[in-house]
Structure 1
C-alpha cells in the first residue's frame, strides 16, 4: 500500500466498505479467530482489488490512536505462519502482508489481503473464536461494510458473483485474456503447416494466439530495449490474439540472443519535463498488461531453461512497473528528481556514445539506416532514463524494507 492511499482511506472515517475496515487495536491472542473471520470475508469479495484492515484508528472518535501500546502485533511472517495452520479447503490460504506507517505522530499497521480469483474459500474444520465459532463449509463473504452472518453462507446472488469472479466471467474479454496468459499450463502449443506457433486455450478454444510473419515494414530497427544484447538490431514478427474469429489485439514478437528467447516489444513512455526541456522517452513493461504477460507466456513454451538468465538483460534495459498507478508515480518522481540539478546525469558521455556506436556498427549498420551519432545519442538517452527510474525504484524498495524491519518481531 502507498502512504497516499492509506491517508485517503483514513480521511473517509468512519466510512467502511468491502475494501477496508478500521480497528482500534490488534486482535488479542485469544481471539485470533475474529481476525481470521475478517480475512476470510475480505478474500471472498466479488471485486478484483486488494483489501485492508487498518489498525490503530478509532472510527468512533475518528482519531489516530496508534499501535504503540499493542502487545499482540504481528508481522508479515507471523501472520502467514498463523494462516498456514488454518484448515482451509484445498490447502490454500490467503496471501497477506503487514506494513507499518507513521500517521500524525502514531504508528498505524495495515494488513493487506491480496486479491485472489481462487474463491470462494472456506474451512474444513471448525475454528473457535469469541462468540460463534467459524463453521466448516460455510461461505463467509464481505458485502458493503459488513461481514456475512456467522451461522450461514451468503445469498445465492452473492455466491454467483463469487463464482463469476473465479472464472473471470464478470470482466471483459481483454481482462480474461490477461488472466489466462498467467496460466500457460492450461494452453496447448500447435505448430501450423506453415511452421508457425499457435496456442489454444484448452478450456475454451475461442482463445487462440497466432504467430504471424516477419514484418518487413517494421524491421531493421535499433532499439534501446536491446542495449544489453550483442546484436541490437531487431526483427519484428506479428503476433495476434483471437477470440473466435476476431482479432482483439496484435503485438510484435522480437527474437533476441540469436533466437534463444523472445520478447514482445515494450511500451514507450514519454516524460514531458516542461519549459525548454526536451521530452524524454524510455521503454517499460506493466506487469498486468499484454506485452509483459505475452513475453512471459511465450517463453514458458520455448523449452530453453536459460531464457530467464537472458531475461536479466531485458531487465537492465526496460523499466518494469507493477501497474499503471506505479508507472505514473515514478514518472512524476523522475520529473522532480531530474528536471533541474540532476539533469546532467541524463546526458550520455562521449565514451558511452562510442560504445553504443560500436554496437550499432557490429549489428550491421549502414548509412541508409540514418545518422550514426544521432542514433547512438537517442538510444543512450533512453537507456539513461531507464537507469534513473530503476535507481528510484531501488531506493523506494530499500525504504519499504526498512519500514517492514521496524515492526515489532517480539511476538
Structure 2
C-alpha cells in the first residue's frame, strides 16, 4: 500500500495524464463513459496496471475536487456489480480494484485496472447509460475495440487503429513475447502443465516445446547432491535415502533457458523447488547477527515452478506439504514485497533477538532434528511470525 500511494502521489505531482493513468474531476454521470474509460485502460498498450484517478480536476490545473457529496460515487461492490452484467467477449471482464487515499485533506479514489493477457476487451452488445436524466447518453458500441494512446482514449464512436488491435491479440496469445517472457507467462498457467510420469518430466499443454526436466546425474554427482541439506529436510517423518537435491531445467525446443534445484522430501514422496533464501542482518558478519528468511516469490520463476511441482508431483499437493512448511515459509506476490519486508527486517532485526515476543511453538526446535539445523529453523520461524504478527499490521510494530 505504501508503494501504491507513492506511485499515485508521483502521478499527481506530474500534473499531466499518460498512457496508463487518467484523471477525472468527479465520478461519471454517464455510466457508459465509465465503462468506456475502464475498457480503454484494460486495453492499454503499456502492458501494466493502469489507474483512473478520481477527484482531480485536470481542466483546472489538476486541483483537487471534493468527492464527499458526489452522488455518483461508487464503492468496490458497486463497481463489481456494474461490470458483472456487461456482455464482454468470452465472458471475461477486466479485473479492477478501488482504493481511497487522502491527499492534503482531500479523498482521492483510485480505480486500478489490472494488467492481464485477456485482451482485447470488447462488448458483444451495445451499452448505454441507465441514467434517464441524461440528454445525450453515450453508447459503448459492440465489437468496437478501444484503447489508450499516450493521454488519449479511443473515441467512444470509433475503434482503435489496426496495429493497436493486432498488438492486443498478440498479447492474448503471447505471440509478441520473447522465449523468456513466454516462459514466465506459461509458468503462471499452472492448470495447463502436465506431468509425464513415464518420462519423468513436465510439459506445457498449449506449447509442448516448453518442458521442465530433472537433470540426469551420474553416480558421483548423486552422492554429492544427497549430502546437500537444509533444516526443512529434517521436518518430514521419513528422512530416508530419497531425500536428495537435484537440478531441474526448463527447456524450450530442448534448449535450457533456466535451471535451479529441487528437493525430494519425506523419503522421496514430495518434490519441491527449493525455497528462496534472503539473508537478514544488521550489516554485521557475526554469525549471531545473521538470519535467513525462506520464501517463495510467486512473481518469479522459482516461485512459479514450486506451484507446478506441488500440484502435480506426486499429486498430493500443497495441502499436505503446508503442514510441514507453514511455520517458516513466507509467500510473496512480487519482488517489491520481498524487498520491502527485507528492508523492514534489517531495520528491526532486534525483534529477532527478543525471545519474549514469541509463543513457545516458535521457539521450540523440531523433535529429532540435528542440532546444527535447530537455530536456522527457529530463526526462520521467528521471521515468519514477525511477518504475520507485526509487518502486516505495521501500526502495532514496537
In the alignment, structure 1 residue 145 sits paired with structure 2 residue 148: no
Q: Residue 149 and residue 110 in structure 1: after superposition, are their counterparts in 2 closer, same or farther (change >3 A)?
A: same
**Residues 348, 377 of structure 1: 8 Å contact kept:** no
The root-mean-square deviation of aligned C-alpha atoms, in Å, is 3.0
Q: Residue 242 and residue 250 in structure 1: after superposition, are their counterparts in 2 closer, same or farther (change >3 A)?
A: same
**Residues 280, 349 of structure 2: 8 Å contact kept:** no
Looking at structure 2, the residues matched to 96 and 353 of structure 1 have their Cα atoms a distance apart, in angstroms, of 38
For structure 1, the residue ranges without an aligned partner over 5 or more in a row are 362-371, 399-411
CA shift, 1:67, in A, is 1.9
CA shift, 1:297, in A, is 1.3
Counting only pairs closer than 5 Å after superposition, residues 311-390 of structure 1 correspond to structure 2 as: 311=322, 313-336=324-347, 338-340=348-350, 342-345=351-354, 355-356=364-365, 358-361=367-370, 372=371, 374-390=372-388
For structure 2, the residue ranges without an aligned partner over 5 or more in a row are 130-135
Secondary structure, aligned partner of 2:148: coil
Q: Which stretch shifts more, 226-235 or 58-67? A: 226-235
How many residues align? The count is: 379
In the alignment, structure 1 residue 251 sits paired with structure 2 residue 250: no
Q: Which residue of 2 aligns with 1:36?
A: 35
**Residues 232, 359 of structure 1: 8 Å contact kept:** no
Q: Which residue of 1 aligns with 2:7?
A: 5
Ranked by relative contact order (alpha carbons within 8 Å, sequence separation 6 or more), the top structure is 1
**Residues 230, 373 of structure 2: 8 Å contact kept:** no
Q: Which residue of 2 aligns with 1:203?
A: 206
Counting only pairs closer than 5 Å after superposition, residues 43-122 of structure 1 correspond to structure 2 as: 43-59=42-58, 60-122=60-122
Q: Which residue of 2 aligns with 1:220?
A: 227
CA shift, 1:53, in A, is 0.8
Q: Residue 64 and residue 227 in structure 1: after superposition, are their counterparts in 2 closer, same or farther (change >3 A)?
A: farther
2:271 to 239, 248, 262: 262
In the alignment, structure 1 residue 22 sits paired with structure 2 residue 23: yes
CA shift, 1:16, in A, is 1.1
Secondary structure, aligned partner of 1:356: coil
Q: Which stretch shifts more, 16-25 or 389-398? A: 389-398
**Residues 124, 136 of structure 1: 8 Å contact kept:** yes
Q: Residue 6 and residue 229 in structure 1: after superposition, are their counterparts in 2 closer, same or farther (change >3 A)?
A: farther
Q: Residue 67 and residue 314 in structure 1: after superposition, are their counterparts in 2 closer, same or farther (change >3 A)?
A: farther
Secondary structure, aligned partner of 2:278: strand
CA shift, 1:161, in A, is 1.5
In the alignment, structure 1 residue 154 sits paired with structure 2 residue 160: yes
Q: Residue 359 and residue 173 in structure 1: after superposition, are their counterparts in 2 closer, same or farther (change >3 A)?
A: farther
TM-score, L = length of structure 2: 0.85
Q: Which residue of 1 aligns with 2:182?
A: 176
Q: Residue 343 and residue 382 in structure 1: after superposition, are their counterparts in 2 closer, same or farther (change >3 A)?
A: closer
Q: Residue 43 and residue 388 in structure 1: after superposition, are their counterparts in 2 closer, same or farther (change >3 A)?
A: same
Task: Summarize deviations over 1:114-139 as a string: whole Å, max 9, x none.
Answer: 11101111111111145541111111
CA shift, 1:12, in A, is 1.3
Secondary structure, aligned partner of 1:359: coil
